[in-house]
Amino acid sequence: MYPFIRTTLEAVGIAIVTTILLVDPDCSCSQEPINILLITFDDMNDWVGCLDGHPQVQTPHLDRLAKRGVLFTRAHCASPVCSGSRAANFTGLLPINNGVYGNGQKIERTMPNAVFLPQDLKRQGYHTMGTGKLLHGNSAAMLDEFGIKHDKFLPITGAETKISSAELNRPGPFVQHAIPRLGLTMPLNQMPRDREPKSDRIDSFDWGPIDAPEDEWTDTQSTNWAVAKLRQKYDKPFFLGLGVYRPHQPLWAPKKYHDLYPPDSVALPKVLVGDLNDLGKLAQDFGRFPITSGAHKTVVENDQWRNAVSAYLACITFADAQLGRILDELDNSPYADNTLIVAWSDHGWQLGEKEHWGKFTPWQRSTRVPLIIVPPRSAPPQGFVPGTRSERVVSLIDVYPTIMEMLGLKVRPDLDGTSLRPLIADPKAEWDRVAISTIGRGNHTIRSERWHYTRYFDGTEELYDFENDPDEWSNLAGKPDYIDVQSRLRDQLPIDQGFAHFARYGEFKVAIPSRGSIQVYGPGVEIINESNDVAKQHPEVVEAVQRYMESHPRVVGYFNVPLEQ
């Protein structure tokens, strides 16, 4: 199981011996060094062709990449939010070990001495390069060379995104903001905001075509930079990371991609009316709160569901086109045969399932991601067959150790994941691992090949049987026939050594650390976002929880404090 209780991670700071083992003892390979091409996507769920996620999606380049390597059909992220997932992937550590649970935390602050994958590779003899969105923060600091910093609004420039106070205060159902250069009025979807404006910029929960040249888009520019790097010569093996921003919102793409998906003809995701009814209030809040996007109710009331699905599909195909460009360049380069290729998305995205839009939920559409690994042609593991699928449950936390082992390099002992190399050699190999995702502190979800179990910070639970309920429509938690399964999975959840208890009191979340002061978050969506500790503003919440714990000395872990207390 995962080494949840870390030993002295500071030991990682000691310089690692920079020896490159160019020969894997279990492969038939040459002596030339192996390079790494890592492609990441943002917010791309399992709606890709090779995963059969949506019947109309066009992802020819992800599909051809899968035919070259191993497609992991049950891969899940460590945290279904950008900062948490990327911090976990590049440190090889779960959120409880690196301190990044959501977009409110940055790995540079929670773990200033963290060793990232590219830095580990550099210490062992690699030249490291990257462009676009890699970390949800300062990607340049972990690389020798950094290219284009992503801009989610391009081709709309920074100056064009700024909303005046007059526009913000103008009466109407939504803020109208004109961009004369492109002949546009924002938002394209003409919907009101559900989230409180965090700035005077146009809202990102928007979709539609923008008829601007592709070279003006941030993903095109990042891919241009990466393509240029493959045309250069290097005196050592290299790591090249390409962070493709789409299909992250705003769901804008060049018009030709939107034209592929006429809204009137797109298939909507399967949903169940009343799907949240058998869940606890906290789970319902996760579904209905506009946490990272807008509310499903608003999308439906404004007749925008099909338009949004169409735009999301367009953005996936646009992102897929960038993958095609970098693969074509690699195949025409001197590095075609000696490069390990890894492609993943940081997390999924929901488009109305369980009344939710966005990510940061424990459910399948939010955590399941594409993951494809292609061994170098010059050094494939014995038994590897191109174009195979592994149905084993794996985690993106496993990618870091996989890369290191595939390259024959020293693997850090503190990493939380396990190398996927045995599954690359034999996709049906025995595998007793589970995939764990953390959705804010105290909320963990765990997947085995059949079961999906979630425990929230207030002690409420969910359990789904994938064999009979792949859409997660029937919550089995608490039913007598499933108590043993539920208990077995609960025992495998990670233990957060930093916090002794979590509790809910009305509309507030209370985090009780092992050491230090009680923290309070809320009300409303802040119970999930945790962007600001309001314990000083709400001493009555702290006092109520303390009284409850004094009168219930045996209470442990996760619990709900009745309001009358």
Task: Give the chain's length.
Answer: 565
Distance CA 321, CA 307 (A): 21
Instruction: Determine contact, residues 373/424, Cβ cutoff 8 Å.
Output: yes
Beta bridge partners of 464: 452
Instruction: Give residues with Cβ within 8 angstroms of 420, minimum separation 6.
Output: 72, 373, 390, 394, 398, 399, 402
Distance CA 424, CA 165 (A): 56
Burial of 345 (0-12, 13-18, 19+ CB in 10 A): buried
Contact of 293 with 331, CB cutoff 8 Å = no
Torsion-angle region of residue 243: left (phi > 0), alpha (psi -120 to 50) or beta?
Answer: beta
CA nearest neighbour of 91 among 69, 107, 106: 107
Helix, coil or strand: residue 501: strand
The reply to whether 347 belongs to the active site is no
Give backbone dihedrals phi and psi of 373, rounded to 5 degrees, phi first: -125, 125
Beta strands 70-76 and 388-395, pairing class: parallel
Catalytic residue among 54, 82, 127, 296: 82
Please say if 296 is a catalytic residue: no
- Taking a C-beta distance cutoff of 8 angstroms, is the pair 368, 466 a contact? no
Which of these is catalytic: 54, 61, 127, 136? 136
Rounded CA separation 529/439 (Å): 10
At 284, the amino acid letter reads Q
Cα 132 to Cα 158, 240, 383, 388, 497: the distances in Å are: 17, 11, 35, 29, 34
CA 420, CA 340: separation in Å to the nearest integer? Answer: 14
Q: Which residues are catalytic?
A: 82, 136
